[in-house]
Structure 1
Amino acid sequence: MNSTFPFSIINVFSNLETKTLGNPSAVILLNQELSDDKLQSIATELQQPATTFLWRTDQENEFQIRWFAPDAEIGLCGHGAMAATVFLSQEFTELALVNGFKLIKGKTIIEADKNSDTEHYIILKNIQRSKIQSPPEGLEKALGQKIIEYYSTENKHIVLLENEKSLANMKPDFDALRKIDVFGYSVTAPSMQNDDFVCRTIVPHVQQLEDHATGSTQAVLVDFWATKLGKSKLESRQLSPRGGYFKAIHNSDNFKLISQSYYTANGTFFLN
């Protein structure tokens, strides 16, 4: 049986005034969950950094959510969650005005809503804490920059470099990085501009290699920099070719991630 579903491609963590394009995610609103193989095949066909799948629960403002890259499922995808928030705010305007949304994946519940027509937010709980340790052997050489500090986390490990110039000039050796048994790195440094920090997301073991603008990197770096700087409100940039721009509000057990966004495509997805 053939079916059609609401579909969009949405760019989040953007700032068009500064030509910061952010990270695109396809978003598809299903009427029920599909098989893992079917979800993966759709994501592979669309070839977006993430394809976000949504379907409703029995609660009016709750949606199940899953994310797939072209080559694998993503456990936590901040930019996909943000794209889902933008999408749902357009599809369900009245709910956005009254209650906001809850995005559910397993035990993870993401609260989501909009501040305005161009600015949306998600609230992530269970902040990921970092633990200082020695960097893996060969990492400094593979990144080509001096490592000031190294921290492990439950997601991408934090690599602190000396300054923004070091981060911008970093040319990772991905062949060497694939020999190290770490999924990915949130590489960061103090900002040389008016924001608080800059970052890059390196994921050598998957197809993407380096992400455009990454919510899961913010999930580890917001707590790290809030603690280091003694601030609760933070702004940052991701130094990818497309660029990413983030605002965040840090609390003791959660943080609010705020994003500007824009649409690339909006219509229907044909599934057979």
Structure 2
Amino acid sequence: MKPIVIAVFTARELGFKGNPAAVLLSKSRLSDEEMQDQARKIGMPATSFIVEDKEGNFWVRWFAPDEEIGLCGHGAAAAGIFLSNETGHEKVYLQYEGGTIGVELKGNTFFMTLEGIPLTKKIDVPQAIKDGLRIPILEMYETENKHLIVTDSEVSVAQMKPDFSRLRQSSIFGYAVTGPGDRVDFVSRTLVPHVQQLEDHATGSSHALLVPYWAAKLAKSRMESYQLSPRGGRFFSEWKEGKVVLSGNFEKE
């Protein structure tokens, strides 16, 4: 089956192209090797592999070209949009190893519900990360997913020129670098120096930890944010009862 490619968190009027994911619906479960091989050939930041079980539940796994992704927010959104169109249901649920993700489709806007990712502890910033980012770092936190790095301004996030060779000298896998926004509530970029992609375009899983952090910081439950990657992404979010509801626009590529 030919994959469908859907870009999510787009904003054409801002020049934001969002994050593309390929989606494949399989009649039977593929092996890890088969999924990794297909993801490598497709070459998207993420490929979502969906299979329906005997009870009618849709299970999803995500693969980048070089390895599996434990939680892929933009890949989940693309998979949900695809399934909504396939089944005719406005809201669909995706099962994955970590739980359930709900995706609701209304016109060209989607709504996705994720479990919030709490900060586990504040840590000292490794020298390799200080040298590799070369921006003011106010705080750094560990989570069960990526780390969180807080800087002083939108300008620092936008103008950051990561030295990935230096960043790889820290064993930390990846981090969401964030600061207060000038035009929106906050901005961010997601860096993953140990894998092929290096910087992600528009990252739902990062926002699962960014939204609770900024909701507490700004005393707001509803926010708008930009991911200032080369493609760019716009997110609308709500922090509600331990869950992050992300919404945005999408386009088929």
Is TM (by shorter chain) over 0.5? yes
Report if the CA contact (8 A) 2:132-2:167 is conserved: yes
For the residues of structure 1 that align with 2:252 and 2:203, how far apart are their CA atoms?
Answer: 18
Distance in 1 between residues matched to 2:227 and 2:128, nearest whole Å: 24
Establish whether residue 74 from structure 1 lines up as the match of residue 69 from structure 2: yes
Aligned to 2:137: 147
CA distance in 1, matches of 2:44, 2:136: 33
1:164 aligns with 2:145: no
> Is the CA contact (8 Å cut-off) linking 2:81 and 2:103 kept in structure 1?
no
Pick aligned residue for 2:100 from 106, 109, 129? 109
Q: CA RMSD in A?
A: 1.1
Q: Is the 8 A contact 1:6 1:29 kept in 2?
A: no
Unpaired runs of at least 5, structure 2 = none
Matched, 1:209 2:198: yes
2:98, 2:214 → 1: CA distance? 26
How many Å separate the matches in 2 of 1:182 and 1:107?
21
Match of 1:40 among 29, 36, 39: 36
Deviations 1:72-98 (A, max 9, x none): 0000000000001111111111x22xx
Secondary structure in structure 2 of the residue aligned to 1:123: strand
The CA distance in 2 between the partners of 1:6 and 1:136, in whole Å, is: 44
Query: What letter corresponds to residue 15 of structure 1 in structure 2?
Result: A
Alignment check: 8 A CA contact 1:27 1:87 kept: yes
Report how far residue 239 of structure 1 moved: 0.5
Letter in structure 2 aligned against 1:212: H
3-state SS, counterpart of residue 70 of structure 1: coil
- Alpha-carbon distance between aligned partners in 1 of 2:29 and 2:182, rounded to the nearest angstrom: 45
CA contact (8 A) 2:80 2:93 kept: no
CA distance in 2, matches of 1:166, 1:89: 39
In 1, distance between residues paired with 2:234 and 2:123? 29
Identical-pair percentage: 44
1:16 to 12, 37, 48: 12
Q: Which runs of 4+ in 1 moved over 3 A?
A: none
In 2, the alpha carbon distance for the partners of 1:183 and 1:189 equals 20
Q: Is the 8 A contact 1:23 1:213 kept in 2?
A: yes
Following the alignment from structure 1 to structure 2, what is the Cα–Cα distance between the partners of residues 136 and 121? 36
CA distance in structure 2 between the partners assigned to 1:70 and 1:7 by the alignment: 14
Amino acid paired to 2:251: Y
Larger radius of gyration: 1
Alpha-carbon distance between aligned partners in 2 of 1:140 and 1:6, rounded to the nearest angstrom = 43
2:55 and 2:248 map into 1 onto residues whose CA distance is: 26
Paired with 2:234 and 2:102, the residues of 1 have a C-alpha distance of 20
The equivalent of 2:83 in structure 1 is 88
Measure the CA separation in 2 of the matches of 1:219 and 1:89: 22
Aligned length: 252
Matched, 1:245 2:234: yes
The answer on whether the counterparts of 1:14 and 1:259 sit within 8 Å (CA) in structure 2 is yes
2:31 partner amino acid? S
Supply the distance in 2 between the matched residues of 1:16 and 1:168 (Cα, whole angstroms): 19
Contact 2:73 2:204 in 1 (8 A): yes
Matched residues in 2 for 1:19 and 1:176: separation? 31
**Structure 2 counterpart of 1:41, which letter?**
D
TM-score by length of 2: 0.97
Which of 236, 243, 250 is 2:225 aligned to? 236
Question: Would the alpha carbon gap of residues 23 and 107 (structure 1) be closer, same or farther in structure 2, given more than 3 Å must change?
Answer: closer
How far the C-alpha of 1:117 sits from its partner, in A, is 1.5
Partner secondary structure for residue 189 of structure 1: strand
Distance 1:154 1:170 in 2: 25
1:50 aligns with 2:62: no
SS of the residue aligned with 2:3?
strand
Answer yes or no: is the 8 Å Cα contact 2:142–2:148 preserved in 1: yes
**Distance (Å, rounded) in 2 between the aligned partners of 1:107 and 1:244:** 25
**Superposition deviation, residue 6 in structure 1:** 6.0
Paired amino acid for 2:102: E
Q: Secondary structure at the match of 2:173?
A: coil
Give the Cα–Cα distance (whole angstroms) in 2 for the partners of residues 260 and 147 of structure 1. Answer: 31
